[in-house]
Amino acid sequence: MGLTIRLDNRVSLDQVARAALDRRPVDLDDRSWHRVAESRSLLDEFVADGRIIYGVTTGVGGFADRFVPAADAQRLQENLIRAVATNVGAYLDEDTTRAIMITRIVSLSLGNSAIRPENLRIYIAMLNADVVPCIPEKGSLGTSGDLGPLAYIAMVSIGQWKARYRGEILDGGEALRRAGITPARLGYKEGLAMINGTAGMVGIALLTYRSARRLVELYHVISALAIEGLAGIVDPFDPRVHAVKPHRGQARAAARIHRGLRDSGLARSERDIEAILAARRDGAAGNTATGARMAIEDAYSIRCTPQILGPVLDSLDWIETTVENELNSTSDNPIVLPDVGEAFHNGHFHGQYIAMAMDHLGIALTTVTNLANRRVDRFLDQSNSNGLPPFLCREDPGLRLGLMGGQFMTASVTAETRTLTVPVSIQSLTSTADFQDIVSFGFVAARRAKEILRNAAYVIAFELLCACQAVDIRGADGLSSWTRPLYERVRAIVPYLDRDITITDHLEALAEFLLSEEAGDFAGLPSDDEEYRDDRIAEHV
């Protein structure tokens, strides 16, 4: 089933993602096509009246003070898209490029950019025929829109540059010919309409956000599994505890983990530990060396999980709203508004919203990475694991290293990830003879958030491997009904390790699973308990 973009409906991130990932066809409803035509007709009137409009009857960028006759429109627009196509580096993958194309189509469909309907139809035809332009990933300022990245799509639409088509990289004109698409001929403003916007950064951002959201939702289950593996205490997650601190994300994280561990035989209660400690105190005559080390409360990486995941969840909510707002925006300059009969010069192309949202996403994911890294250390350190063998090596310790080596990777990747959280959205550099004098680097921020997401998946994958190893050592029969399906899915990827092997392939497979659509199937609560519904949580906080 395809995606029909309707002028009166907000397009969701999931709709764009599904259309991009599943190769679903896209079209506009009749009202959208009518609005697109109205915008173009109004611009035609302005040109006929001799109006001076940026990028229509003037040059662009640092040449905005130069007049250009309407008769030279095609040359100006083609020169524009060729001149700004200066990106370098590897090409974006096809899924990301399709998401970018759909995002630009959504923006143009609002009918405020004065593109001719026939050229917008060519964009849609390219997408639906799977003609995927090759977009080098580095070089966008993310301010006068993603000029460079979007220019490669525009060039393919006129039969230039390069595109992937049915497994081959072809000349853009040849790709269009094989797909049966006639190249576009650009009139005034149309090249500018194609490239002047935030679609590049939004396309990357929406796919990255969706994967990050799934990973964080699943991380609640992973946290519960880690608590079981470390024989952690459940009481700090009781919803009544969190009702006194009114952060919705924190309350939601605590409630989910508390509900998920309700039938666990491995997680412990405070009362049980209190009884054991009291008996030890009374029976050992002050000898604190008897029995395994045990404390009345857990370390922060267990006990403070809701306080750490809570702000991550709240940040994700803001990020989702921001990216979806930008997706449904006209991010063009100038805009031609049929309903008010006027054209306006503006700065809607500026990507600061997405730049800051992606910086926040990077911080949120790095926060989860820090938490996972600390739990890995507790699993492997015999003095902090509540009775687990050192390095989770039960068989032949000393002869074997167990999971010791895996911490090398997690420490390295965690440190690297922390360096990637320096904000991109404040790194403005001036360009274009001080015309573009404050820039967002939103495209860079979105690419970097995607890299941080992959790093987070590697560290979490190793924490998950450790948790399952620990659970097997303690006795997997005690798992809760919430964590058991995830444990079994992990065991289908990597077995219990009673011998030393190279675990790289297992970690790659686990990371792929964590970032897959399938991972979302394991994140839901085992029942729709009234007490733990999100709306009930909101009422409490």
Residue range 415-424, pLDDT digits in tens: 999 999 999 9
Look at residue 276 and tell me whether its pLDDT is greater than 90.
no
Query: Taking 90 as the threshold, does the pLDDT of residue 55 lie above it?
Result: no
- The predicted model gives 365-392 an average pLDDT of 97
Q: Mean pLDDT throughout 264-291?
A: 78
The two structure tokens encoding residue 117: 């309907």
Segment 476-494 mean pLDDT: 97
CA distance 269 to 297: 10
115: helix, strand or coil:
coil
Answer yes or no: are the C-beta atoms of 115 and 36 closer than 8 Å.
yes
Per-residue pLDDT, 539? 61
Res 46: pLDDT: 95
Q: Annotated catalytic sites, by residue?
A: 54
CA distance to 61, 397, 462, per residue, from 465 (Å): 53, 18, 5
Write down the pLDDT at residue 8. 84
SS3 of 126, please?
A: helix
Of 163, 143, 167, the residue nearest 152 (C-alpha): 163
Flag whether pLDDT at 230 surpasses 50. yes
φ/ψ region of 381 (left if φ > 0, alpha if ψ in -120 to 50, else beta) reads: beta
Min mean pLDDT across 391-395, 460-464, 532-536 is at 532-536
What was the pLDDT predicted at 540? 58
More confident residue, 524 or 356: 356
In this structure, what token pair is assigned to residue 183?
């190249």
Kindly list the structural domains of the chain, giving each domain's residue range(s) and its CATH number in brackets, ordered by start: 3-196 (1.10.275.10), 207-279+294-538 (1.20.200.10)
Q: What is the mean pLDDT of residues 116-121?
A: 98
Q: Looking at this protein, which amino acid is placed at residue 57?
A: T
* pLDDT of 537 strictly over 70: no
User: Which element (helix H / strand E) includes 497?
Assistant: none
Instruction: Please state, for a pLDDT cut of 90, what percent of the chain lies above it.
Output: 85
- Residue 409 pLDDT class (50, 70, 90 cuts): very high
Res 367: pLDDT: 98
Among the residue ranges 2-11, 17-26, 346-355, the one predicted with the least confidence is 2-11
Instruction: Kindly report, residue by residue over 137-154, the tens digit of the pLDDT.
Output: 999 998 888 999 999 999
**Cα–Cα dist 330/349, whole Å:** 8
pLDDT cut 70: percent of the chain above it:
95
Highest mean pLDDT of the ranges 139-153, 275-289, 462-476: 462-476
Does pLDDT of 407 surpass 90?
A: yes
State the Cα–Cα distance between residues 103 and 125, nearest whole angstrom: 15
Dist. CA 107–CA 101, nearest whole Å: 10
Q: Which H or E element spans position 280?
A: helix 270-283
Q: Which amino acid is present at 426?
A: I
Dump pLDDT digits (tens) for 162-215.
999 999 999 999 999 999 999 999 999 999 999 999 999 999 999 999 999 999
Instruction: List the one residue out of 357, 373, 444 whose CA is nearest residue 407.
Output: 373
Helix (H, G, I), strand (E, B) or coil at 463: helix
Average pLDDT value for residue range 501-530:
89
- The pLDDT, as a whole number, for residue 62 is 85
Residue 290 has pLDDT above 80, yes or no: no
What SS3 class is residue 479? Answer: coil
pLDDT at 291: 47
* Whether the predicted pLDDT of 107 surpasses 60: yes
- CB-based contacts of 121, cutoff 8 Å, min separation 6: none
The verdict on whether omega for the bond into residue 390 sits within 30 degrees of 0, i.e. cis, is: no
Count of all residues that appear for the chain in the document = 541
End-to-end CA distance of the chain: 40
Compute the average pLDDT of residues 35-56.
Answer: 95
* Dist CA 389 CA 385 (whole Å): 8
Instruction: Say yes or no to pLDDT of 541 above 70.
Output: no
**Mean pLDDT, rounded, for 395-409:** 96
Reported as a pLDDT band with limits 50, 70 and 90, residue 538 is: low
CB 18 within 8 A of CB 24: yes
Contact assessment for residue 392 and residue 402, using Cβ atoms and an 8 Å cutoff = yes
